[in-house]
Amino acid sequence: MLYPIQVGGHRAIRSAPTPDRVLKPLSQKELAFYRRITAPDLHPHLHWLRKYTPAFYGTATLPQSPSAISDTPQPPEQFLELEDLNFPFRNPSVLDVKLGFRHYDDDATPEKRLRQIQSANSTTTAETGLVICGMRTFKSSVPETCSKHFGKTLKPHQLPDALYWFFHDGTSLQRTQMQQVLSSLRALRSHFASQTSFFFYSSSLLIVYDSNPPASDVRMIDFAHTVPSEGHPDTGYLKALDNLITVLETALQLPHAPNLPSNE
């Protein structure tokens, strides 16, 4: 069964048989990343990554659904079995924001590199290192969603308005949760200041909150293009993280409801 609260990503996530887990289509680089950070010999200076990423439960294999255009049996599909970050929340509002100025790794073809560069130059990525990949938020107990297309239509100066909209529940701005998220982002930033083990290309942050009771979570997700950095800092991710903190601080101070492009 497809997972009902996916707001970003290119490939469909499935619900797992265990209710607090999800199944994500397997990528070898992402699998290698999770195995690295869950290994018993992980260096202590990287243990913080376990706190800021979904728990990893291994891999799963499922048969593919029959093809509508072929009678040939399809090979089984492989998945990563991961923590469902929305599970602890009654009405989770969810934001997927991609961080970094480069969204391809060294294995990308020249054609893919060009597409990614053109995409970055046409969105908020080029100036801020941020692009909203999707969000769902509850307005008066009714969920409303914004697609990846909406995120691509935003201009950099509209990002605070977008976060204001996300953290507004239809009655009031959820300032407590915004402060909680800011605290988490600043703590993550303090770890990243000395992180020299990985380049997190095309990786996202998933921000989740609930209004009743007030609660929030911030996790790093999507590591299909994460590669070893061989002692070099990921300055692009760090700069984007600084910009996200600034955008959220600005949203917290906005005196008015946002004026945003239509989510059509």
Structure confidence by residue, pLDDT tens digits, 81-118: 999 999 999 999 999 999 999 888 888 898 989 988 88
Distance CA 237, CA 226 (A): 11
Half-sphere exposure of 194 toward its Cβ, with a 13 Å CA cutoff?
Answer: 7
Most confident of 2-11, 104-113, 194-203: 194-203
Average pLDDT over every residue of 43-57: 97
Between 246 and 67, name the one with better pLDDT.
246
Q: What is the pLDDT of residue 66?
A: 64
Structure confidence by residue, pLDDT tens digits, 199-258: 999 999 999 999 988 999 999 999 999 999 999 999 999 999 999 999 999 999 998 766
Domain locations along the chain: 14-83, 93-253
Buried b or exposed e, range 236-250, using 16+ CB within 10 angstroms? bbbbbbebbbebbee
CA distances from 76 to 19, 34, 64, 116, 258 (A): 22, 22, 5, 30, 46
Tell me the whole-structure pTM to 2 decimals: 0.92
Structure confidence by residue, pLDDT tens digits, 12-38: 899 999 999 999 999 999 999 999 999
CA distances from 48 to 41, 45, 54, 140, 181 (A): 14, 7, 12, 36, 17
Q: Which two tokens stand for residue 209?
A: 């909150």
Residue 261 has pLDDT above 60, yes or no: no
Does the domain at residues 93-253 carry the CATH identifier 3.40.50.11540?
no
Q: What is the pLDDT of residue 122?
A: 87
Average pLDDT value for the chain:
91
Q: What is the pLDDT of residue 140?
A: 84
Structure confidence by residue, pLDDT tens digits, 143-163: 898 888 889 999 999 999 999
**Sorting pLDDT into bands at 50, 70 and 90, what band is 64?**
confident
Average pLDDT over every residue of 108-137: 91
